[in-house]
Amino acid sequence: MRVMHVTDEVLGLFAAAGGNNYAEQVSMEQHALQAAALAGASGASDALVLAALLHDVGHFLAEPDSEFGVTDHGTTGGAWLAERFVAAVSEPVRLHVAAKRFRCFVDPAYEEQLSPASVGTLRLQGGAMSATEAEAFEAEAFAADALTLRSFDDGGKVADLDIPALDEWRPLLDSLEFRL
């Protein structure tokens, strides 16, 4: 029961809020689908593909606090997923905003690759990490996965891309392997 329930919860969130754009070129649903497709094509683990599909779920769980959506969506999305999925799914999501701030610290040119909306949220999220914050981030068990997820996130913003629909991810969403 729980298995189907969680899939329905996820699909329900996409149905309710996936059409929002939050100042990007693509809807949140398209963005999630593109991130998941990039993850799948890269040969990432199924857990990380699932994380890519669900990485912005935090935007669906609260009212937006800016034109860019929910500033703290990494933390809130990660916490929501941690109640439903294994850490290999929830932790990269929890850390994907931190991963952006980390990359800006280690590579100042990275910011130029970000979409305008992502730069906007970066400001609200505190900008590039300090050296102390970066050290703490690197000590996280899923730091590397969060950085990989970040590349799927950044790449998943292409207008008018023809890719598999949400329903095609249902078997992965239903998979018991990644559920608590």
CB of 56 to Fe ion, least distance (A): 4
DSSP assignment of 6-67: HHHHHHHHHHHHTT--TTSSS-HHHHHHHHHHHHHHHT--HHHHHHHHHTTGGGGSS--SBT
Q: Which of 141, 168, 131 is nearest to 40 (CA)?
A: 168
Is 24 among the residues that bind Fe ion (CB under 5 A)?
no
Binding mask 56-85 for Fe ion (x = CB under 5 A): x-----------------------------
Please, which residues have CB within 8 angstroms of residue 74's CB and are 6 or more apart in sequence?
58, 93, 94, 95, 96, 97, 98
Q: Which lies closer to Fe ion via its Cβ, residue 91 or residue 153?
A: 153
Q: Which lies closer to Fe ion via its Cβ, residue 127 or residue 135?
A: 127
127-156 residues in contact with Fe ion (CB under 5 A) are: 153
Stretch that binds Fe ion, among 21-29, 49-57, 58-66, 140-148 (CB under 5 A): 49-57
CB of 112 to Fe ion, least distance (A): 18
Residues that bind Fe ion (CB under 5 A): 56, 153
